Amino acid sequence: MEQATTQEQRLAPGRRSGGGNALPVLEDGAWRAEQRSRSLERLLTLLGPLVVLGLWELLAQLQLIDTRFFPPPSHILSTLVAMVASGDLWYHVRASLSRIAIGFLLGAVPGIVLGLAMGLYRPVRALVAPLIGALMPIPTMALVPLLIILFGLGELSKWMTIATSVFFPVVINTAAGVAGIEPIYIDVARNYGASRWSFFTRIALPGALPVMFEGLQMGQAIALLTIVAAEMVAASQGIGYVIWTAYKTFQIARMFVGLMTIACLGYLFSLALRALAQKLTPWR
Amino acid sequence: MTQGSLGWAGGDGRSPDPAPPKIVVRHLYKVFRRGDRQVTALEDVSLAIPEGEFCVLLGPSGCGKSTLLRILAGLEAPSAGTVEIRRRAPQAPLNAMVFQEQGVLPWMTVEENVAFGLQMRGLPRREIRERTERFLEKVQLLPFRHAYPKELSGGMKQRVSLARAFVTEPEILLMDEPFSALDEQTTFLLQEELLRIWSEHRRTVVYVTHSIDEAILLGDRLLLMSARPGRIVEAIPVPLARPRQIETLRSDPRVGELFVRIWHHLRREVVGHRESGA
Ligand SMILES: Nc1ncnc2c1ncn2[C@@H]1O[C@H](COP(=O)(O)OP(=O)(O)OP(=O)(O)O)[C@@H](O)[C@H]1O
Ligand SMILES: [Mg+2]
């Protein structure tokens, strides 16, 4: 008995971090080699974009590529700085952010609710699944005219455009998350007499959460794709509007700033969602 | 087959018990239907288990042991026949199950897992904490109370399962090969732990295994099952005094005899089943 306890105590969460310096020499060498290859990897990930940018700059400076369409990165950078300094960029980013946030909530919340209902109740799934299957393949861009007819030219139609595109991946992943819960966990809940509500909060919800978050990640990416489409029509601000008007007025550097901003937003959103997922699913 | 009379109270050769048995199963059948194919998992199973008995179900793989246990737990409905469990305290839960596979909920900490059954019964917070702590202590998991199952070894997870079942103090305990996925030494340790915790209250246990050694070590009485469709074909009392220890059991000649007797039976079932072409 004694032996087993001491062995297992080494796994104790509190004691794991403390024992780092007690590694034997041999493992230490292996660990260093691994660290070295890690930092090399990190260097390479940075190197890729830098090489592309440097090459681009060089070719543009030498007039080997058409700078009307591919202005040198230094020019894009100065445009970016100017747009940040004047508050111009923030004005548009703020507009897009609030549309994405509201649209995302309008799509994700019903998606989660309906997805849970589909996963928990077979009749709901039978009723709704074919509808979702039929509607999902329609590109949201193709729905924009219809959404404008339904919801007008104002903010509402933009929210609804984003909501529509976010809804589908969220509802499908949530339903799949619930349906994918191991039957044994359902048996455990029944065996210990869980009420419907307890089953929902203690088994179905946490069990579905990881897959549900994958849906939210997809929804987030799609929301960014959609915002450009939503802001192309009848908008006077927003990142999509910036890209679209810059393109039409041939301010290509400004357009590139818009594209870069979208890329950065996407990266930040996925980081934020991953952090949220880690906080809500600490057992993973 | 004469299984109709086997296993009933007094049918195991001991002095007749004046109290009515804790569990009575009468002419139980279970047929699974999948598409147009039918599988008879249990066929005319009858048994009676007295209060406080550690009863072991032993049989070849696929003979319906888990199915029988799930019916006792109310997780599966019988196709025919009846199950009666006599209640002692109406407020105690009827049964608690330790599952064959990993039944520990991965999104709950060790403590939350153990407290789960108590929380489902809506006991006061203080009582839940106190009882949970007591049982975490008993299975030596107190230092790991805030750990998630992914940080635990297989043996520790099964300890969580044991604690979660015992802490609810159910009328009967159902265990489905709780240690079958563990290595031999961990199994020995957990078997001793199980016996220690069980001996404190001697609740009625129905324990499924296909290890003959385990059956002899743990059981008061062994019910041997046939190959599928599962029937109870023999009840063998284990005449060994408690507390039992693995060391002393190994050198006891009666254990060897018992082992051989059970093995002969099981081999007949497994081989006979194969030769009949099923
Ligand atoms: N839900 C189900 N649907 C269809 N068939 C099932 C179902 N559950 C069990 N069976 C069948 O019933 C038979 C008995 O299964 P059971 O799990 O009770 O066996 P077991 O004795 O516990 O086996 P093992 O020792 O391998 O765990 C098997 O042939 C199995 O295929
Ligand atoms: Mg089984």
Q: What is the mean pLDDT of chain A?
A: 87
Q: For residue B215, how far is its CA from the centre of ligand 1 (angstroms)?
A: 20
B153 Cβ under 8 Å from any chain A Cβ: yes
At B41 the pLDDT is: 92
Query: What tokens appear for A77 in the block?
Result: 């950078």
In this structure, are B77 and B200 located in the same domain?
A: yes
Residue identifier of the C-alpha nearest atom 25 of ligand 1: B61
Q: CB–CB of A191 and B155 under 8 A?
A: no
Does residue B99 lie within any of the structural domains?
no
Q: For residue B61, how far is its CA from the centre of ligand 2 (angstroms)?
A: 7
Can you tell me the distance from the alpha carbon of A110 to that of A49, in angstroms, rounded to the nearest whole number? 39
In this structure, are B81 and B181 located in the same domain?
A: yes
Average pLDDT over residues B233-238: 92
Can you tell me the distance from the alpha carbon of A119 to that of A179, in angstroms, rounded to the nearest whole number? 5
Work out the percent of chain B whose per-residue pLDDT is above 70.
Answer: 91
In this structure, are B71 and B207 located in the same domain?
A: yes
Average pLDDT over residues B67-86: 93
Q: CB–CB of B96 and A198 under 8 A?
A: no
A228 vs B17, higher pLDDT: A228
Is the pLDDT confidence value at A245 over 50?
Answer: yes
Q: CB–CB of B105 and A5 under 8 A?
A: no
B contact test, residue of A191, A212, A278 with most B CBs within 10 A:
A191
At A129 the pLDDT is: 92
Is the pLDDT confidence value at B11 over 50?
Answer: no
Is the pLDDT confidence value at A163 over 80?
Answer: yes
In this structure, are B33 and B128 located in the same domain?
A: no
Q: For residue B43, how far is its CA from the centre of ligand 1 (angstroms)?
A: 13
Does residue B98 lie within any of the structural domains?
no
Helix (H, G, I), strand (E, B) or coil at A68: coil
Average pLDDT over residues A107-118: 94
Is the pLDDT confidence value at B82 over 60?
Answer: yes
The string of pLDDT tens digits covering residues B108-137 is 999 999 999 999 999 999 999 999 999 999
Q: Using CA coordinates, name the residue in chain B closest to A7.
A: B153
CATH of the domain at B247: 3.40.50.300
Tell me the residues surrounding ligand 2 (ion) with CB < 5 Å. B 66
Residue B117: list chain A partners with CB under 8 A.
192-193
**Residues forming a β-bridge with A152:** none
At A140 the pLDDT is: 83
At B18 the pLDDT is: 60
Measured from the Cα of B210, ligand 1's closest atom is 25
Please give the domain boundaries of chain A with CATH numbers for all domains. Answer: 1-65 (no CATH), 73-280 (1.10.3720.10)
**Domain-terminating residue out of B170, B186, B218:** B170
Residue identifier of the C-alpha nearest atom 24 of ligand 1: B61
* Structural domain harbouring B128: 106-170
At B194 the pLDDT is: 93
Is the pLDDT confidence value at A153 over 90?
Answer: no
Can you tell me the distance from the alpha carbon of B65 to that of B97, in angstroms, rounded to the nearest whole number? 13
Domain count, chain B: 2
B105 vs A27, higher pLDDT: B105
In this structure, are B164 and B212 located in the same domain?
A: no
Asked if B241 contacts B260 with a C-beta cutoff of 8 angstroms, the reply is no
In this structure, are B218 and B83 located in the same domain?
A: yes
The answer to which of A14-28, A198-212, B81-95, B149-163 has the lowest mean pLDDT is A14-28
**Domain-terminating residue out of B170, B192, B211:** B170
Q: Which residues contact B117 (CB under 8 A, 6 or more apart)?
A: A192, A193, B93, B96, B164, B165, B167, B168
In this structure, are B185 and B236 located in the same domain?
A: yes
The string of pLDDT tens digits covering residues A30-43 is 888 888 888 888 88
A22: confidence class by pLDDT, cuts 50, 70, 90: low
B273: confidence class by pLDDT, cuts 50, 70, 90: low
In this structure, are B223 and B200 located in the same domain?
A: yes
Is the pLDDT confidence value at A19 over 90?
Answer: no
**Domain-terminating residue out of B170, B188, B206:** B170
At A23 the pLDDT is: 55
In this structure, are B70 and B165 located in the same domain?
A: no
In this structure, are B180 and B245 located in the same domain?
A: yes
Is the pLDDT confidence value at B7 over 60?
Answer: no
B93: confidence class by pLDDT, cuts 50, 70, 90: confident
The string of pLDDT tens digits covering residues B192-229 is 999 999 999 899 999 999 899 999 999 999 999 988 88
Is the pLDDT confidence value at A3 over 60?
Answer: no
Q: CB–CB of A9 and B143 under 8 A?
A: yes
At A17 the pLDDT is: 43
Does residue B82 lie within any of the structural domains?
yes
Is the pLDDT confidence value at B13 over 50?
Answer: no
Among the partner-chain residues B97, B108, B147, the one whose CB lies closest to the CB of A191 is B97
Is the pLDDT confidence value at A13 over 50?
Answer: no
Q: What is the mean pLDDT of chain B?
A: 87
The string of pLDDT tens digits covering residues B240-261 is 988 888 888 888 899 999 999 9
Average pLDDT over residues B2-25: 57
B276: confidence class by pLDDT, cuts 50, 70, 90: low
At A226 the pLDDT is: 87
In this structure, are B52 and B179 located in the same domain?
A: yes
Among the partner-chain residues A13, A187, A203, the one whose CB lies closest to the CB of B151 is A13
Q: CB–CB of A193 and B120 under 8 A?
A: yes
At A87 the pLDDT is: 92
Q: For residue B175, how far is its CA from the centre of ligand 2 (angstroms)?
A: 10
In this structure, are B266 and B187 located in the same domain?
A: yes
The string of pLDDT tens digits covering residues A103-112 is 999 999 999 9
